């Protein structure tokens, strides 16, 4: 049987038709959670809910654009924006960051506006742009739901929502809460669904929905709890596809505890077997040195997975990110799998692989991490230090750690030092980075 690339039911995920964009609304205040901070910035296992929400967004989803709609508070805005840098490095999508409004509807409108501007810039037809609108609060939504909604939206459905059957008996009650409240009807459970996100729309429809919501006024905006509800108001067909129990909306502290439990269950080994001799961790070391590019062949500076606008770049066949490369080398060293040259080729001896031209440091680190995992290791941690008089790391250290940790799928600590003016680093001729990595043999490799 052959699988057609546009067949959403069978086989591999269908390739995107037109252009795929994602809007993540993360501008809410999290009042019901009660942590005194915007919900998207609340941490679950040391990562923000927005970080978790973006975990499901992989390169396979084929997104060309990700719009993050963030709270206006500058400190929170800056902290959450780092998740965008990491998502861009991981998926190759353009990332646009914008500020939300006072209601969810207003925040979606702000995200829609950003998609429309980008589409215009790229010359995309709004009818050919499919937009997934997702709540950061549904932080554990699996990738398969994104794929399902995107495929259904592209297969001519006008509006698409993921949903799950409800398990409670749902009753309609009188309006007044408290002792006066009475049940007036029991709804037919078989016909009820709990609706989730991401919801899929063409950009042209989403623009229509935003316009309708704006015309209805702010009070009505508060009543619209999702975009599909506006579509229903307009008589637009809304297609329902299967959602997922993990796509629960984290609203209260109880939901946060449930989400924590789901994460714990995912990490716990299926059967905890006591090991007589737990395998010893393996330590690796890696160095990388890149010279600054000649003035007649200027390059952009990429270091520690970040772009450093306006700074003189490093020479190299790839993007010259010595910090990321040292991390790769340390991983290979710890696994006893050779070095950078073994896996990616080396410019100095003329074995650089053509496909590595301009390759991003974060991308190479993700690939190195994949290779050592495939060889049967779990990555404990990586620590990397670069020696150079510039760029100044301190203001962007957190961002660099986040991007590299995301790429490696394990904690990466980044530090920097100068060489007191001595040597090539002191003379500003280049940068040297040294990394160490700890790997834990996980004992399930077919390769060892
Ligand atoms: N949202 C938003 N802008 C708003 C309100 C909500 O971007 N003005 C986003 C939230 O960040 C969340 C999603 O919409 O990802 C769903 O909203 P909800 O769960 O209600 O989150 P909050 O509004 O933050 O929570 P609360 O209502 O308890 O304040
Ligand atoms: Mg809300």
DSSP 8-state secondary structure symbol assigned to residue 443: S
Ligand 1 nearest atom to the CA of residue 251, by list position: 19
Dig out the tokens for 270 from the structure. Answer: 């299926």
Alpha-carbon 45 to chain mean position:
16
Mean pLDDT of 356-361: 78
| Residue 99 beta carbon below 6 angstroms from any ligand 1 atom | no
pLDDT confidence tier of residue 237, bands split at 50, 70 and 90: very high
User: Pick from 387, 399, 384: which is nearest to 437 by CA?
Assistant: 384
Is 60 exceeded by the pLDDT of residue 299? yes
* CA atoms 347, 401, 91, 439: torsion sign: positive
Least confident of 175-184, 194-203, 220-229, 351-360: 351-360
Ligand 1 nearest atom to the CA of residue 250, by list position: 19
- Substitution site in 137, 222, 250 for ligand 1 pocket (most atoms within 8 Å of beta carbon): 137
- pLDDT at res. 2: 37
| Residue 221 beta carbon below 6 angstroms from any ligand 1 atom | no
pLDDT digit string, tens, across residues 146-195: 999 999 999 977 899 999 999 999 999 987 777 888 999 999 999 999 99
Is the entire prediction scored with pTM above 0.75? no
Count of other CB atoms within 10 angstroms of residue 191: 8
Ligand 1 nearest atom to the CA of residue 39, by list position: 24
Query: How far, in Å, from the CA of 208 to the mean position of ligand 2?
Result: 22
Extract long-range pairs of 144-147: CB within 8 Å, 24+ residues apart. Answer: 144/244, 145/56, 145/196, 145/198, 145/243, 145/244, 145/247, 146/22, 146/56, 146/57, 146/61, 146/198, 147/13, 147/60, 147/61
| Residue 27 beta carbon below 6 angstroms from any ligand 1 atom | yes
Mean pLDDT of 100-122: 96
User: CB–CB of 207/234 below 8 Å?
Assistant: no
Mean of the per-residue pLDDT values of the chain? 89
Distance CA 365, CA 348 (A): 20
- pLDDT at res. 173: 92
Which stretch of DSSP H or E encloses residue 131?
Answer: strand 129-135
- Substitution site in 29, 38, 104 for ligand 1 pocket (most atoms within 8 Å of beta carbon): 104
pLDDT confidence tier of residue 10, bands split at 50, 70 and 90: very low
pLDDT confidence tier of residue 7, bands split at 50, 70 and 90: very low
Query: How far, in Å, from the CA of 104 to the mean position of ligand 2?
Result: 7
- pLDDT at res. 348: 61
So where are the chain's domains?
A: 2-168+186-267, 282-441
Place of tokens 């991390």: 327
Give 135's strand partners: 25
- pLDDT at res. 221: 66
Same fold, 2-168+186-267 and 282-441: no
pLDDT confidence tier of residue 343, bands split at 50, 70 and 90: confident
Ligand 1 nearest atom to the CA of residue 38, by list position: 24
Distance CA 24, CA 135 (A): 6
Mean pLDDT of 248-263: 95
pLDDT digit string, tens, across residues 259-296: 999 998 887 655 555 556 667 899 999 999 999 988 88
Is 60 exceeded by the pLDDT of residue 349? no
User: CB–CB of 431/114 below 8 Å?
Assistant: no
Pairing mode of beta strands 159-165, 199-202: antiparallel
Query: How far, in Å, from the CA of 103 to the mean position of ligand 2?
Result: 7
Which tops the pLDDT comparison, 350 or 384? 384
Percent of residues, the chain, with pLDDT higher than 70: 90
Which tops the pLDDT comparison, 152 or 344? 152
Ligand 1 nearest atom to the CA of residue 102, by list position: 8
**CB under 5 Å of ion ligand 2: residues:** 28
pLDDT confidence tier of residue 443, bands split at 50, 70 and 90: low
Mean pLDDT of 288-308: 91
- pLDDT at res. 380: 95
User: Pick from 415, 417, 359: which is nearest to 388 by CA?
Assistant: 417
Mean pLDDT of 406-416: 96
Distance CA 59, CA 56 (A): 10
Count of other CB atoms within 10 angstroms of residue 318: 24
User: Pick from 399, 436, 437, 394: which is nearest to 417 by CA?
Assistant: 394
Give 131's strand partners: 21, 201
CATH of domain 282-441: 3.30.1330.50
Which tops the pLDDT comparison, 397 or 222? 397
Question: What CATH number does domain 2-168+186-267 carry, 3.40.80.10, 3.90.550.10, 1.10.1760.20, 3.40.50.2300?
Answer: 3.90.550.10
Is 80 exceeded by the pLDDT of residue 352? no
pLDDT digit string, tens, across residues 48-92: 999 999 999 989 999 999 999 999 999 899 889 989 988 988 888
| Residue 104 beta carbon below 6 angstroms from any ligand 1 atom | yes
Residue 225: Cβ-neighbour burial (10 angstroms; 0-12, 13-18, 19+):
exposed
Dig out the tokens for 251 from the structure. Answer: 């609203």
- pLDDT at res. 5: 42
- pLDDT at res. 445: 45
Burial letters 125-162, b for 16+ CB under 10 A, else e: ebeebbbbbbbbbbbbbeeebbbbbbbbbbeebebbbb
Give 287's strand partners: 434
| Residue 388 beta carbon below 6 angstroms from any ligand 1 atom | no
């Amino acid at each position: 049987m052959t699988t057609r690339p546009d067949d959403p039911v069978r086989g591999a995920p269908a390739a995107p038709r037109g252009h795929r964009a994602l809007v993540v609304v993360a501008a809410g205040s999290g009042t019901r959670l009660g942590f005194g901070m915007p919900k998207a910035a609340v941490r679950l296992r040391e990562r923000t809910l927005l970080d978790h929400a973006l975990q499901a967004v992989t390169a396979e989803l084929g997104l060309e654009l990700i719009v993050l709609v963030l709270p206006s508070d500058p400190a929170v805005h800056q902290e959450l924006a780092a998740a965008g840098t990491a998502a861009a490095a991981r998926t190759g999508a353009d990332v646009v960051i914008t500020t939300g409004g006072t209601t969810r509807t207003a925040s979606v409108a702000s995200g829609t506006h950003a998609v429309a501007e980008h589409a215009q810039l790229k010359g995309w037809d709004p009818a050919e742009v499919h937009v997934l609108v997702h709540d950061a609060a549904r932080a554990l939504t699996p990738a398969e739901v994104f794929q399902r909604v995107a495929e259904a939206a592209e297969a001519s459905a006008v509006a698409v929502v993921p949903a799950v059957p409800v398990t409670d008996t749902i009753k309609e009650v009188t309006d007044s809460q408290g002792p006066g409240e009475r049940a007036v009807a029991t709804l037919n459970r078989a016909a009820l669904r709990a609706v989730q996100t991401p919801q899929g729309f063409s950009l042209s429809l989403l623009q229509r929905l935003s316009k309708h919501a704006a015309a209805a006024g702010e009070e009505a905006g508060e009543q619209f709890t999702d975009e599909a509800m506006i579509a229903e108001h307009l008589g637009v067909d809304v297609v329902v596809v299967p959602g997922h129990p993990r796509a629960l909306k984290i609203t209260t502290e109880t939901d946060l505890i449930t989400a924590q439990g789901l994460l714990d269950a995912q990490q716990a080994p299926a059967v905890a077997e006591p090991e007589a001799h737990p395998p010893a961790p393996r330590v690796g070391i890696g160095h990388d040195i890149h010279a600054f590019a000649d003035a007649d062949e200027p390059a952009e500076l990429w270091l520690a997975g970040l772009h450093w606008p306006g700074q003189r770049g490093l020479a190299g066949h790839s993007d010259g990110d010595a910090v990321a490369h040292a991390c790769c080398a340390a991983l290979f060293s710890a696994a006893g799998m050779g070095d950078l040259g073994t896996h990616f080729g080396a410019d100095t001896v003329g074995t650089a692989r053509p496909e590595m031209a301009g390759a991003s440091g974060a991308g190479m680190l993700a690939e190195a991490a994949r290779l050592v995992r495939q060889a049967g290791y779990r990555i404990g941690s990586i620590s990397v230090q670069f020696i150079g008089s510039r760029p100044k790391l301190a203001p962007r250290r957190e961002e660099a750690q986040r991007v590299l940790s995301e790429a490696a799928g394990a904690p990466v600590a980044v530090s920097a030092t100068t060489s007191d003016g001595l040597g090539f680093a002191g003379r500003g001729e280049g940068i040297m980075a040294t990394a160490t990595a700890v790997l834990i043999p996980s004992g399930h490799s077919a390769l060892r």
